Amino acid sequence: MEKVAPAELERRVSVQEIPGKGKGLVANSHIRKGDVILKETPVLLGFVDGVQGIRRQLNPLLLKTAVRGLPKRQQNRIDDLAVTTGGEYYEDVLRTNSFTIEIDNTKFSALFPDIARINHDCTPNTFTRYSQSTLQMEVVAHRAIQQGEEITITYIPQSLSTGDRKALISQRGFNCTCRLCSSDIDGQTSDRNRADIRSILDEIRDHRDSLTPSLIRKLSQRLLQILNDESLQIQGGEYYSLFADLYLSVGAAEDARDMAWKALESRVFYNGADSERAKKARDMMKRVGAF
């Protein structure tokens, strides 16, 4: 895993005004695919499901007290973030800008002020990777990023149709103007590709008992090509694991091991070596005899 020092972060990205979006992060130099752009520990945590014995009405006071206990620089960074949902201020900050993370099987809303500066795109050039062992969130380049290009992440699941994406985004108080949302042709093509993925999965479900290695190979090639065309490689681990299991069920051990290896590589890259998904991919490796 690439180490990123604070000085290096300042050289790589800067906060700038983005037309139509407000503030965002922009690359100061060329960034390679796989480079860690940001690495941050949360400055504020909120219980997703509340705390037993503490009244809901006390949450705003608790959050305000927590923020005011931070160093002034951290307070200013939080106070400078966008709010969209209304209501109590720091609850709004947390709802608008936080990520859901898990610590010891408990879910928290976690605020990472630098990462919260990154704007949304339905086809982002980075992804986030959280480590339960370090409690750090990383922003990793999904592809090569050019100097002057805005750094983007997605706020919503990428598998959704255009209509569903727009509905979710509108709930967050803004309209997306990315390529998929602003071009009817690109949006329609993307929707067809996502529908094709669902069709392939339906075919697998309906013919599970009659699958052959050649049919599995044909279906996997179609689905994985769509992931590549739609820049949905982050979902590859899920589907590599599926096809590894399918190959194993029809006795195609070599193909199963190949897919299991790819699933593990994908899970480590996109989810982190210590993630639950990487752990499940390692279990799959054992099942197919690759370990």
Q: What is the DSSP secondary-structure string of 66-128? A: HHHTS-HHHHHHHHTS---S-SSHHHHHHHHH-EEEEETTEEEEEE-TTGGGPEE-SS-SEEE
Residue 84 CB partners (closer than 8 Å, separation 6+)? 92, 95, 96, 172, 173, 174
Amino acid identity, position 224: L
**Range in 54-68, 147-161, 239-253 with the lowest mean pLDDT:** 54-68
pLDDT above 70 coverage of the chain, percent: 93
- Closest to 11 measured CA to CA, from 33, 35, 44: 35
Residue 4 CB partners (closer than 8 Å, separation 6+)? 36, 37, 38, 39
Residue 85 has pLDDT above 80, yes or no: no
* Alpha-carbon gap, residue 240 to 238, rounded angstroms: 6
* Alpha-carbon gap, residue 205 to 211, rounded angstroms: 10
Residue 69 has pLDDT above 70, yes or no: yes
Residue 87 has pLDDT above 50, yes or no: yes
| Average pLDDT score over the chain | 89
- Higher-pLDDT residue of 176 and 237 is 237
- Higher-pLDDT residue of 255 and 291 is 255
Residue 10 has pLDDT above 60, yes or no: no
Mean of pLDDT values over 226-247: 96
Please report the pLDDT score of residue 60 as a whole number: 77
pTM of the model: 0.86
pLDDT category of residue 1 using cuts at 50, 70 and 90:
very low
Mean of pLDDT values over 153-172: 90
Mean of pLDDT values over 167-183: 87
Express each pLDDT in 91-107 by its tens digit.
Answer: 888 888 899 998 888 88
Question: CA 39 → CA 44, 232, 239, 265, distances in Å?
Answer: 15, 23, 28, 21
Express each pLDDT in 18-58 by its tens digit.
Answer: 988 888 999 999 999 999 999 999 998 887 775 554 555 55
Please report the pLDDT score of residue 58 as a whole number: 59
* Alpha-carbon gap, residue 189 to 203, rounded angstroms: 21
Mean of pLDDT values over 215-239: 96
